[in-house]
């Protein structure tokens, strides 16, 4: 196949995807609103999954081959001090690794910048905040925002973090971010709170049952 023919095929596939909506990245079947996501560990990518493919991963965080099912829980935390974790900015997320320790990331106009957290510092943080011990390695994160007067500390799914990275990259302008990025980040956390509240209501028992 020539380079030109391959390029036309890629463009045709992209047009089909836009026309038919999101599709499963494993089997190319259509996905439903609110579909699950998988994390491809080798490529470090978040993939859309249809219901059938998601059922292959019956437990949140359970893996098969190089894919992990991303959980859905969002938990607001009491303030978590991240100073000793070496965070140079106020907006960052921390993903525990399967082999121990954690990787820190912070959104930037170029994508996500990351560095390895000192394992002893991460373990000391977990010891002070036991809720962090429940994080599912590779697919859940501690997300913090202390850049402004509002303070946010959450346990979130990894796909939420990828969504935040994409938002910052899309809205950032100039050297300091411009006028759009920080209001967009505020809306992100407002939406996160609404999602967390809906999940809590859904888990509450129905009277009379």
Would you kindly state where each structural domain of the chain is located, as residue ranges?
3-69, 75-203
Mean pLDDT across the chain, nearest whole number?
Answer: 82
Confidence of residue 18 (pLDDT cuts 50, 70, 90): very low
Give the full edge-to-edge strand order of the sheet including 91-96.
75-76, 152-157, 140-145, 91-96, 102-108, 111-116
- Closest of 179, 123, 205, 191 to residue 154, by C-alpha: 191
Q: Are strands 67-69 and 140-145 parallel, antiparallel or unpaired?
A: unpaired
Instruction: Find the mean pLDDT for residues 190-203.
Output: 74
Q: Has residue 59 got a pLDDT over 60?
A: no
**Both structure tokens of 106:** 């912070």
Residue-level pLDDT at 129: 95
Instruction: Identify the DSSP state of 110.
Output: T
Q: Could you give phi then psi for residue 17, rounded to 5 degrees?
A: -65, -45
**CB-based burial label for 35 (10 Å; 0-12, 13-18, 19+):** middle
- Residue 138 CB partners (closer than 8 Å, separation 6+): 39, 41, 61, 68, 95, 96, 97, 98, 158
Instruction: Find the mean pLDDT for residues 82-107.
Output: 90
Residue-level pLDDT at 4: 42
Task: Choose from 84-88, 117-121, 149-153, 172-176 the range with maximum mean pLDDT.
Answer: 117-121
**Both structure tokens of 47:** 């993939």
In this predicted model, which residue has the larger pLDDT, 53 or 20?
Answer: 53
- Closest of 40, 22, 125, 52 to residue 83, by C-alpha: 125
Residue-level pLDDT at 122: 96
* pLDDT single digits (tens) 104-133: 998 888 888 888 999 999 999 999 999 999
Q: Has residue 58 got a pLDDT over 90?
A: no
Instruction: Find the mean pLDDT for residues 49-72.
Output: 76
């Amino acid at each position: 196949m020539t380079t030109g023919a391959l390029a036309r095929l890629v463009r045709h596939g992209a047009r089909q995807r836009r026309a038919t909506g999101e599709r499963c990245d494993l089997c190319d079947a259509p996905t439903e609103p609110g579909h699950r996501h998988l994390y491809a560990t080798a490529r470090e990518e978040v993939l859309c999954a249809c219901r059938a493919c998601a059922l292959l991963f019956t437990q949140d965080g359970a893996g098969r081959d190089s894919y992990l099912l991303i959980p859905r829980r969002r938990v607001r935390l009491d303030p978590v001090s991240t100073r000793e974790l070496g965070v140079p900015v106020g907006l960052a997320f921390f993903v525990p690794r399967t082999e121990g320790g954690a990787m820190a990331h912070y959104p930037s106009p170029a994508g996500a910048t990351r560095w390895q957290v000192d394992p002893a510092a991460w373990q000391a943080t977990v010891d002070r905040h036991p809720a962090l011990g429940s994080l599912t390695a590779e697919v859940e994160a501690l997300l913090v925002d202390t850049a402004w007067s509002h303070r946010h500390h959450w346990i979130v799914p990894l796909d939420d973090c990828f969504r935040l990275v994409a938002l910052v990259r899309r809205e950032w302008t100039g050297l300091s971010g411009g006028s759009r990025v920080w209001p967009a980040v505020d809306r992100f956390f407002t939406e996160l709170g609404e999602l967390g509240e809906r999940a809590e209501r859904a888990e509450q028992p129905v009277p009379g049952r």
